[in-house]
Chain A
Amino acid sequence: MTRTLRLDDDVDAALEKMAGERGESVNSIAGRALRRLVEWDRLAENAGVVGISSVTLGRLMDSQTPEQAGALGELVGKEVWKPIIISKYGEVSLDSVLKSIELIARYMGRFDFIYSTEGSKKVVTIRHSGGIKWSRFYLGAATLLFSQVIGLSFNPTTTEELVSIEFDAPESATRDA
């Protein structure tokens, strides 16, 4: 659908310039920016999400033991991700958790999210480059959401670069992969 917007001249000129540099249309850049606004920016603002250098964040995480990193992940799962999921989807279900992880991966830029399913067997994989402490952090958050909130039993695999959880759930409980 079409929508006419009144844009400040400096914003309009910057959009034109960006479009020229990237070989894209102004419309596609604006569409992406506005989608980000409605899908993520407001939610992130309400949840107190802020920007920081990945290097500084890595240095801060260095001061944690793997066990502390896991406990922090659980805390963030409870105090940040769970409210985000409820705010966005109205409930914490397997489907809403999966959709939220996908959203977080897309806009927070810290990990890739892979979801695969074969019948009732599901595998959620978070791939990152932060090392074992970040794997423990993500496992902590996953434990809180998948196990403590949804009540699923899962088998985790943790390496330096990924955390993967495997569980059984009926087909009706999840969206299409």
Chain B
Amino acid sequence: MIGPNKNIRAARYGMTIDVDRCSGCGACMVACAVENNVPPANPKATDRTGLTWIRVYKIDNGLPYPETRSAFVPVLCQHCGNETPCVHVCPQQAVEVDPATGVVGEMPQRCLGCRYCVAACPYHARYFNWWDPKWPAGMEKTLNPDVTPRMRGVVEKCNFCHGRWHAAKQQAAADGKPDTEPVEYTPACAEACPTKAIRFGDLNDPASEPAQAAKNGESFRLLEKLDTGSKIYYRSKREWVRQIANAPHPAASGKESFHG
């Protein structure tokens, strides 16, 4: 595991997702897949065996028409900061939290494919490569050279666009900025969101949007009571949407639809 370095001013990258602004267009999912070389779905893949690092769920308030209201909730790795559930279970240290960024990283090259981390994640944000990754002829030329494609039999998940973070670090070095300072960058999903529902920044920086949003009374984190220290803050003015922070209830969930 990476040990903390006292000379580095650690960042704690996080996100705020405004559920009221999300239109469910899926641009974040597409941008993420392109940026991170997530292969096109195998023809036999289902919604439970497909690969995506960010998944947009459609929820509704469970009331009949005309009171029906719906919303879209993008769910990605929550980059838990408190006893990260997936880090503790991995038998061969293929998952780790970078103390310099707070990002929960996955090392596919070391992954055994035991899927214990998949079982441990309460947000279902980890995906297993059930098939060999395949791109249609010619499409492999569009692969992002900064990100390694993963092989069959390993787990993968959101890493807040690690390739972009690296590029930002290199740019900072080229600009003569100290290596010990956090860098500013934007992950592909936040960049692609047409309604600016997804905002990304350093939660340690009080001026950053996610840090400010975290203090907002309309903000919440999924499954807050599990105390996983999630770095993804959701916000909504609607009370029924804020209820999704809680555990599921059989009676209510039966009415809710599901989309990904």
Partners in one complex: no
Binding site for B on A (CB under 8 A): none
